[in-house]
Amino acid sequence: MKYIKLILILISVTIISLQLFTDYNISKWIKAVGYLIFVMLFFVEYRNSIKNKRK
């Protein structure tokens, strides 16, 4: 599971950084997927940290 998370983080960061640091215009769909993965991972991590604090 950790490896999957790492790969997803790498993909999303790559997409976002490509968009930021190049004039290369990625299609809106790919960009949306990148941000969606990023937000989803952030949400999952946030929820896990709350669960761990309750223990």
Domain residue ranges of the chain, discontinuous segments joined by +:
2-54
Please name the residue ranges forming H helices in the chain: 2-21, 28-54
What is the rounded average pLDDT of the residues 4-25? 73
pTM: 0.46
32-52: per-residue pLDDT in tens? Answer: 777 788 888 888 888 888 888
Distances (CA, A) of 1 to 4, 8, 13: 5, 11, 18
18-37: per-residue pLDDT in tens? Answer: 766 666 566 677 777 777 88
